[in-house]
Structure 1
């Protein structure tokens, strides 16, 4: 499988899932600002929205959106046990992937991280942080993970929470949420993926600001 990614973007979740499973994927870096691949080609030809992740499957098909990509990877690498197979727990996985993608990723962090967003938009997003984190805090106060065991939902949540440091969101008022973030990145696979992508991110910043 081949993953189109941008350093520290939400595609980091798929890299972590691959590392958790010990799978040797092929990685194609995308310049998230210019929407170009490293060979100069137009990323919009891969994904018309210009967004990562994009997963190219072994048969050449393209799959978009974390809510689809992460379960697909988990199902195709079952030995890692990163997703429930079916039943109510599978529905709960989809519930949490939807929550993370809509209530946190798109509604909260994208506006706060977008240089083009107005101060009013950023303020509106920030005003909704406490409610969303409160939902997570309540759930995680009695559970180490979003489901009964570690899953791709926890990986995705930790990757999104990692953006808090880039937009001055203090997670300490929600200790159970902060605890999950720390537990995920204490895992060797997640720590390795984060270190590698942080190095790529810093190299990209330095190249644009010599």
Structure 2
């Protein structure tokens, strides 16, 4: 498998999932700004949409969108329990978390990275994100991870997007459960390995 990623972007989530799963893969840097791959070719020839993450399977099939990619990865290593079994209520709860993180948190950061966003629009985005993460903070009370005691691919995703708080000036220091949770996730060897590979440590 080949994972196309951009350092620190949302592609860190499947990068963490691959490390947690212990699968063989090649990580290829595909910078979001330049779209130029290490061999000098245009990333858009691989993924016409030009964004990461993008996973290419051994047979050449491409898979896009982080929440789909991380579930695929989890299903390749069921013994690692990165996702509950397909068809179970717990699996739908995992998908609920992945959708929530993707639509309510991840996409809400977009105005903070877009050049030309007004200060008012940036503040509105920060208020929205903080409101969503305050709810998450409450959900984490008494839990090790989003799904309970077991780390799942949703945790890698939430960790990835909450990493963007500091560079965008979003103060989440008051969310104590989330802070402790982020420390737990950051300490995992697979998370350390993925971040080191992306030059984030």
Q: TM-score, normalised by structure 1?
A: 0.89
Aligned residue pairs total 199
Alignment of 1:101-112 (within 5 A): 101-107=102-108, 109-112=109-112
In 2, the alpha carbon distance for the partners of 1:196 and 1:171 equals 26
Structure 1 residues 30-65: Cα deviation after superposition (integer angstroms, max 9, x where no partner): 121011212222222222221100001122110000
Superposition deviation, residue 114 in structure 1: 2.4
1:134 alignment counterpart? 134
Alignment gaps of 5+ in structure 1 = 201-210
Alignment of 1:57-206 (within 5 A): 57-86=57-86, 87-107=88-108, 109-148=109-148, 149-199=150-200
Note if contact 1:31-1:38 (Cα within 8 Å) is conserved in structure 2.
Answer: no
In 2, the alpha carbon distance for the partners of 1:105 and 1:133 equals 11
1:10 alignment counterpart? 10
1:27 alignment counterpart? 27
Structure 1 residues 41-93: Cα deviation after superposition (integer angstroms, max 9, x where no partner): 22222222211000011221100001100000000122221000131100011
Taking a change above 3 Å as real, the CA distance of residues 45 and 121 of structure 1, as seen in their structure-2 partners, is: farther
Note if contact 1:4-1:27 (Cα within 8 Å) is conserved in structure 2.
Answer: yes
Superposition deviation, residue 199 in structure 1: 4.9
Q: Does 1:52 align with 2:52?
A: yes
Q: TM-score, normalised by structure 2?
A: 0.93
Structure 1 residue runs of 4 or more that deviate by more than 4 Å after TM superposition: none
Superposition deviation, residue 121 in structure 1: 2.3
